[in-house]
Chains A and B, each alone.
Chain A
Amino acid sequence: MNSSSRSNRQSQIAPSPTEMPAAAPLPNPAAPNNTLPPAQGAGQPAIQNQTQSSVTGGPPNSGTAVPPNAPPAKPPSHVTYQISHQTEYNYSEPVAVCQNQLRMQPVTGGNLECQDTKVTIDPDPNSWDEHRDYFGNLVTTFSIESIHTALRVVVKSRVTVAAPSISESDASTQWEEALDHGQGPLCPTVAEHRYHSPRILPSETFAAYARPSFTPGRRILEGALDLTRRIHQDFAYDVTATTVDTTTEEAFQLKAGVCQDFAHVEIACLRSIGLAARYVSGYLRTTPPPGKERLIGADESHAWVELYAGEKLGWLGLDPTNACMVSTDHIPICIGRDYGDVSPMRGVVLGGGTNTLKVSVDVEPQPIR
């Protein structure tokens, strides 16, 4: 169905509006022009597998020793996944009308290619629209205008994630090169991620935490990975510690939380020293590759960070929850400034009494054909 959604995210962002194909969704009006650094898609060039295997640990909070003993088996150059994300609401009272927005569908771009994505809604919606939001995410808006007592939304997608690679010369970029030096044309879709957003307020507190990782002249990859690893070490993964509304400052004080909090804290740290960082929502593979531990955050939506590492490297994916660079185990769905821009579903219902919610996510790698 969503043939239009399969166009390349990068091509959605890069060309000027006049170059848009007529059938495509509304062009992103804030698109950078071609002379500027490409705002690459959410899935990002990750570093070589050596780096990854050295940082991928077991569940951070498992208590028992979980040695990072995974053999550096060379990861596949690309993996195809079948994703199913099911959301079910049951209401105590009838709902007269509900209006909802979904941000659950992948779009082709960066190192991700979307072969197919399909939304099924029960009961049948009365009306249905799709559009691309400011960040290029695919948004489905629908309304159900007859009495109902349950709502079920199933999103099934098939995507291929390629393992990115970074050349040695690119990797030598110093972190200061990724700052805004106040000269030359400015790319709004990068620069806006240097400043505060509704849920992330950069401050000296975060900057002080970030500085030991970003010593003068340090390579940006090293610095970013070091910060990612430190957050993983210093923060406890604890689903009871925070809620969806916990502020980044609170999570930083608590030194605990879930992927959303970890990502918010890392973004706050990066922005506080002037770097551009954004929030990525997506999924992790559910079943680990042979010989590897299951990653935290599988079976549900996951979140991580992208750091703008300069023109050559573009956006780097960092997963502070799992202390690793993002590679073929991560499937990006949406990007934004923080969680508020990418929440998978938001809705307004009329009536409904109290509700119960069931969410399940299934991410299965497909055999190579």
Chain B
Amino acid sequence: MIYFDNSATTRPCEEVIKAVNEAMTDDKWGNPGSLHKLGYLSLNAYLKAREECASVLNCSAEELFFTSCGTESANTAITGYVKANPRKGKTVISTKTEHKCTLETLELLRKEGYDIKYVSVGRDGKPDLDELSEMMRSGVSLMCFTHVNNETGAVLPVDSIVELRKECCPDAAIYLDCVQSLGKLPVDLKKTGVDMASFSGHKIHGIKGSGLLYVRTNTRILPLIIGGGQQDGMRSGTQSLPLASSMAAAMTAAEQERDSAVERVREINRFLREELKKRGAVINSPDDALPFVLNVAFRNFQSETMLHCLEMYDIYISTVSACASRSKKVSYVLENMGIDRKVSSNSVRLSFSRYNTMDEAVRFIEAVDEIYKLYEVNVR
């Protein structure tokens, strides 16, 4: 099997499985909220896991909250911030290439009377900074951006944006979706200067159901899930030690292997770009994109057909566009980057992880060649 769909989800790594297993056995299965010894043991392990996450992200443990997924973190950060800070106004800035968990939250806010402004995005997937600074100057409460785009791998110039904020609207907060950058780019929260950030475990060989929300000290937000007041009231519900431990183990393992992984994946990416271009493919990912994501349009193959062809070779990738049999819907991310619809409808996403190898990339190209021989149809 060749799994090139790591931006969708990843296979839990051994470190994670071990951590989860340990968190469910011995004396650690208690409720961290209980006053007796079992609770105390569980709470201790839970706090240790949080500490471990904090050290990877370079923030303080009190600034982190475990959630169920990236989507929950995004929902909480965006809604929670604007609701808790009404005096900062009702303007939110973002781009149209965000993940749906951000776009849908913003759409809901728009219906509630918030003014949502979208900065245009260029062919390189980056927001237009001139336009952004103009928008910032006219007043803004919150800005929502994605560190690494999940469809193209485009990397946000975080430093420039934080710099611009200092100049144009120092009071505005920044929320950063780090789901695709975690474990692949250095995320140093103290240094970055963002106010909120979201993370997900299962994209870095953790398990589904584990997410993390960062809220910088002194940033006020309202919780989305209320109840018993766990996690300082920011996220009620009994804390899950297995999920917290899995998150910590996944983050530590990813961080330890990050440098070597980036190097290997960069090689794979470079090789695939070159070989696919030779075969008439269009590369949609910007040149300076994160190498873990490669968005590419195959000549004469609609996205879904290529996906199923590769599936026959036990190779797994993803279409980012959903095709309706009559009206073709293409990826809104590619559309907003100004990519032609014809190209978009043939586009697929390959996404890599530290476990992928050059050998797999070579076998991938061999499979593509065979697919062209056997299944290419061009009646148009």
Do A and B form a real pair? no
Which residues of A are interface residues toward B (Cβ below 8 A)?
none
Which residues of B are interface residues toward A (Cβ below 8 A)?
none
